[in-house]
Every structure is written in C-alpha cells, then in structure tokens.
Amino acid sequence: MKTIIAVAFFGILTYAFADTVVYGKKVCQTDNNNGMVNIDPKRFFSGTWYLTHATQSTRVTLSTICRDFEPKLNANGKTLGVTYGYYENGGTDNRYEVSCSGTQNTTRRDIFNFDCKSNNGRGETTNFHIDGSFLATDYDSYGVIYRCVTTGTLTEDNVFLIHRQKNPSDDEVKNILKHYGLDLKKFISRQKATCSN
C-alpha cells in the first residue's frame, strides 16, 4: 500500500512540475525545457505575431517590448525569415530594425536556430544568435516561446508570450502561463509600454 501511494504521489509531482519553464540562469536552458515536437512551421510562421508579455532581461525591457514579428517560411520550406522593428524607449527617434534567418533544429524539432542582424537609427549594427524553443501555440491566437540570445560572450534568456492581437486580457494570459509554472507578476506587458508601432 505504501508503494502504491508513493508511486501515485511521485506521478502527480512529475506531472505538476514537468511543464515548468526554466529560464534566467545566464546560460541557454533549451535542454531543460520541453517544447512542441509536432509544431507545424507552415501554420506558425505566417501572419503577424505581437510580443505582448516577456520576462525581463538585458535586451527585453518595458522600453523594447513593442515588437511586431513578421515570420515567413521561405519558398524552399526549410529556411525561415523573421523581421521586426521597435522604437527605443517607446519614442520615435531611435528605431531598431531586426532581420533573422533560421532553420528548424534537426535533433530537437521544437527548437529553431536563427542568426540575426539589428540596425538602429544611430547607425549601430549588432549580430546575434537566437535559439527559440516553441513551447506551445494554438496557431490562431497565442504562442509561448523560450528564447536564448547569444551575442559574443553575453548570453541571456527569457520567455515570450506572443499573440495575434496586441492586447489579450490578463485572465487569458494568466491561464496560459500557469500551465508552465509562470507568474504574470514576473512579466513585463506591452499594455504598460508606450508603443509607437
């Protein structure tokens, strides 16, 4: 009887914590997060996705959350292009334009690897690499992405919640995040930013 109770308890704990997203350790956590192995790139990489919520990091702050992603699956069906832009500090002076090219990882189908280039209004150019693990999406309204960015020796990671609409309700967001052990209080929100786009 004790064995049955212990096995049942362990099974409940495994389920309860299996989907908890690991991030914020200053190293990529793609190996510690389980994504969607059956993601359909044709359905996901089309239309516009709005970054509505993100865990804060060096590059993702309230002043840079206003990102509108335009993903495209290229004609060969293998390479992906993603472009987005945003104004620094919600203003209209220093605009960042980012373009990324990537492919689906061959060993982890939930991960997409992107090489990106950013140009801003001050003439600064930055090259960086993104590994994105696609944790969840319904394709029509939301997506949850674990994102790890490497620029030279700097590595940072965070969790993005993207939507097809710019302003989802807090209840909708809380419902999505709780499945991954995430708390809305630890996220910055586009609704609290001054977005020019």
Residue 1 lies in a domain: no
Residue 16 lies in a domain: no
C-alpha 84/C-alpha 66 separation (Å) is: 10
Return the residue matching tokens 């069906």. 77
pLDDT at 33: 87
pLDDT at 94: 87
C-alpha 147/C-alpha 34 separation (Å) is: 13
Q: Which residue range forms the structural domain that includes residue 114?
A: 26-192
Which are the contacts of 157, defined by CB distance < 8 A and separation ≥ 6? 23, 24, 25, 26, 27, 28, 29, 57, 146, 147, 148, 149
Return the residue matching tokens 């004790």. 2
pLDDT at 1: 43
Residue 11 lies in a domain: no
How many structural domains are present in the chain?
1
| CATH at 85 | 2.40.128.20
66: helix, coil or strand? coil
Residue 12 lies in a domain: no
159: helix, coil or strand? strand
pLDDT at 157: 93
Q: Which two structure tokens, joined as six digits, stand for 1? A: 């009887």
Per run of 10 residues, the mean pLDDT along the chain (length 197 residues) is 37 40 82 89 94 90 88 88 86 89 94 96 96 95 96 92 95 93 93 82
Residue 92 lies in a domain: yes
Residue 32 lies in a domain: yes
Residue 10 lies in a domain: no
